Structure 1
Amino acid sequence: MIRHIVAEGIGTAFLLAIVVGSGIMGERLSGGNEAIALLGNSIATGAGLIVLIHVFSPISGAHFNPVVTLAFAFHREVAPRTAGFYIAAQCIGAVLGVWTAHAMFAEPLIQLSYKVRAGPAQGFSEMIATFGLIGTIFGMRRSRPEQTPAAIGLYITAAYWFTASTSFANPAVTIARSLSNSFSGIAPTSVSLFLAGQISGAVAAVIFFRWLFADSGCPEGQASL
């Protein structure tokens, strides 16, 4: 159990270091071109996710995301007590990952973001992004479990671009990114909107995909994000 919890914490920390670090790097190198910065941020995040899932999936399942853990708990594949430890480790790891990125780029460790991401479209985008993420995970476990890491990485890369919110799709990521006043940050005042979208998207996905895949086997496989 300890190894599983540590794997979730470390994996989520690396995920946030990738998200925030690549955002800082992209912003510094893009010369003010936000499209180029977002391209670098999205490619790094998707590629990093694939690697992290391959590394940590055999240990903890590589959830790195509270709503993913809760989705597995709903399906009784993760015990409630284990889910609680996983979520705590994910949130702690996410904050440590942000601080690690700040340290690598000689930024102040303790920050608050001023980047407001407000409005119904942002919350709706997070609902769609999270719905798609949960669907990707459970759909791939059913059909091609060995391809789950690549599918999740590719989905997140795409969702950076087709959602107005750039697809946080993760409560731990959202909370941690409010502690970085960088390209990938989110103002604390916007966090509740994102969390509401993510939770509602996850609930809708669990209900819908459980119905959709009810008559077909869903072999044990990898999770993520």
Structure 2
Amino acid sequence: MTKISLQRRLAAELLGTALLLAVVIGSGVMAERLSGGNVALALLANTLATVGGLYVLIEVFGPVSGAHFNPAVSAVMAWRGELSRSALLPYLLAQLIGAVLGAWLAHAMFELPLAQFSTKLRAGQGQWIAEGVATFGLLLVILRAPAGRAAAMVAAYIGAAYWFTASTSFANPAAVVGRMFSDSFAGIAPASAPAFIVAELLGAILALGVDRWFSASAPDTSAP
């Protein structure tokens, strides 16, 4: 099996994250323009585009870089030894840069100003709990998905979490950063971003702990 260079894996993470943010933000812009003010319809359209895009991107880039597109995922994989510690920081930088580029790409496609900041405040205890729950569930799905089924399960979970969480399930610190740079349907104000990221990281840590607990061997009580 050919070993893929770090440079190519980083390119995959940057490109994949950029395309993911372009899907999320671009579909939000299109949905808002076409929904006639019906927010539920706009969210449904945004959800369907995200589910489809996320599934395809994981399938395409998974064999190259693991298709993390998410600093919380990369951090957990580094903790588990599935990503080298030396590659963690480059992965995070590639994801963050890709997220911002993806926001700019969405703006360019819809002829919006490239440089902008979101004014959409997303704050409050319910929002923070929702982000913790969304990220906890995402990481638990990733860690426990049967071989070959992660892409479909992750996409399906995110689609569901768009609707059952109060925050519409960012579940990704890179997505938070990218969406700060878009004053659109999918945006988040910079003032709201730090609490979202903290909640997401706490959710990821909890998922790692639960996965380890589920995977722990039961003590052998059969011996006399």
Give the alignment's TM-score, normalised by structure 2.
Answer: 0.94
Q: Partner letter of residue 185 of structure 1?
A: G
Query: 1:182 & 1:116 partners in 2: Cα distance?
Result: 12
Query: 2:100 & 2:163 partners in 1: Cα distance?
Result: 25
Partner of 2:109: 104
Query: What value does the CA root-mean-square deviation take over the aligned residues?
Result: 0.9
SS of 1:77's partner is coil
Q: Does 1:82 align with 2:87?
A: yes
Partner of 1:31: 36
Partner of 1:202: 204
Query: 2:217 & 2:9 partners in 1: Cα distance?
Result: 31
SS of 1:185's partner is coil
% of aligned pairs identical? 52
Q: Partner letter of residue 175 of structure 2?
A: V
Which runs of 5 or more residues in structure 1 are unaligned? 217-225
Query: 1:200 & 1:40 partners in 2: Cα distance?
Result: 29
Post-superposition Cα deviations, 1:10-46, rounded to whole Å, max 9, x if no partner, equal 0000000000000000000000000000001011001
Partner of 1:170: 172
Query: 1:213 & 1:11 partners in 2: Cα distance?
Result: 30
Partner of 2:97: 92
Query: 1:14 & 1:176 partners in 2: Cα distance?
Result: 11
Query: Which of the numbers 12, 17, 20 marks the counterpart of 2:17?
Result: 12
Q: Partner letter of residue 3 of structure 1?
A: R
Greater Cα shift, 76-85 or 18-27: 76-85
Superposition pairs of residues 118-129 of structure 1, within 5 angstroms: 118-129=123-134
Shift of 1:196: 1.1
Q: Name the structure, 1 or 2, with higher relative contact order (CA <8 Å, separation 6+).
A: 1
Shift of 1:91: 0.2
Partner of 2:138: 133
Shift of 1:182: 0.2
Query: Which of the numbers 26, 43, 64 marks the counterpart of 1:59?
Result: 64
Shift of 1:214: 2.5
Partner of 1:223: none
Query: 2:71 & 2:166 partners in 1: Cα distance?
Result: 22
Q: Partner letter of residue 199 of structure 2?
A: G
SS of 2:75's partner is helix
Matched positions, count: 213
Query: 2:187 & 2:144 partners in 1: Cα distance?
Result: 30
Q: Does 1:117 align with 2:122?
A: yes
Query: 1:120 & 1:196 partners in 2: Cα distance?
Result: 13
Which runs of 5 or more residues in structure 2 are unaligned? 1-5, 219-224
Partner of 2:147: 145
Query: 1:41 & 1:214 partners in 2: Cα distance?
Result: 39
Partner of 1:50: 55
Q: Partner letter of residue 155 of structure 1?
A: Y
Shift of 1:164: 0.1
Give the alignment's TM-score, normalised by structure 1.
Answer: 0.93
